[in-house]
Amino acid sequence: MEWLTAITLLTALAAGPTLPDADAVRNVVAATDHMSARDFDERTRLSSTFPNELNRLYASESAGKGQWGDALEQFTRAARFADKYSQHRISLMYWHGVGVERDRALAYAWADLAAERMYPNFVVLREKMWLAMDQAERDRALREGVALYAQYGDDVAKPRLERAIARHRTQITGSHVGYNDGRLIVQAAGGGAYSPFDAQGSFDLRPMYAAWRMDADRYWAVEDAIWKEGSVEVGPVAPTRKDADH
């Protein structure tokens, strides 16, 4: 019967990974995953030297296309640079089993990491996850969290981004007083669909070098203000058939 087992295995491999449940996808996908090509090009340009933002952007694009394996990989890269939103998105993927096997304990560990700075919506979501788990899941979640913090916690992840910002700051051309000089306006050699150049054929690089983005302390302060006071899209912790069994 070994030949029959082999045929069954090959058939399963040919079928590819199991598609996530449609309800699970709805609980994980974000409105911001869908963007026009023009918006994507502009956001890519502005994020090009910030690995947290750039990988988060690529992850959102992959999620919008339903490429969940790629989305997980890219959110994880962004998470290495202290990107709390990416850590949150990973937690939702594990909680609902989208792109990965469902693992509520690991989902909570990522949610706890996302809530490290006490951003209110992330804290609320983390607590909802905790209440939904059984004791065995809670115990494992705490163990998983130790390993995650060692790789992705702010103590180790923030310095990675700060080093990237410092490298970028040394490479800036143009004025170092306000980053406001004309040398940061580039003329286009030619246009085309979704060109980032304006109608006059010029391309303004100054937003890439905004003063607050070149200073790590100010960068983190702006992030805190956005996530603590702004409107944050976090997604629900919706009950599933498996939850009802606990």
List, in sequence order, every residue forming a beta bridge with 185; answer none if it has no partner. Answer: 204
pTM: 0.73
Cα–Cα dist 126/107, whole Å: 9
Mean confidence (pLDDT) of the chain: 77
List, in sequence order, every residue forming a beta bridge with 203; answer none if it has no partner. Answer: 186
Instruction: Give the residue, 103 or 29, on which the prediction is more confident.
Output: 103
Residue 81: the pLDDT is 97
Cα–Cα dist 241/246, whole Å: 10
Residue 162: the pLDDT is 95
Q: Helix, strand, coil % (nearest 5) of the chain?
A: 65, 0, 30
Tokens representing residue 156 in the block: 């180790």
Tokens representing residue 81 in the block: 């640079």
How sure is the predictor about 230, in pLDDT bands with cuts at 50, 70 and 90? low
Asked whether 209 and 184 are in contact (CB, 8 A), the reply is: yes
Cα–Cα dist 62/73, whole Å: 10
Cα–Cα dist 219/158, whole Å: 11
Instruction: Give the residue, 243 or 15, on which the prediction is more confident.
Output: 243
User: Distances from the Cα of 32 to the Cαs of 61, 64, 122, 183, in angstroms?
Assistant: 9, 8, 17, 33
Residue range 48-63, pLDDT digits in tens: 889 999 999 999 999 9
Q: SS3 sequence, 169-231?
A: HHCCCCCCCCCCCHHHEEECCCCCCCCCCCCCCEEECHHHHCHHHHCHHHHHHHHHHHHHHCC
Q: What is the mean pLDDT of residues 1-18?
A: 37
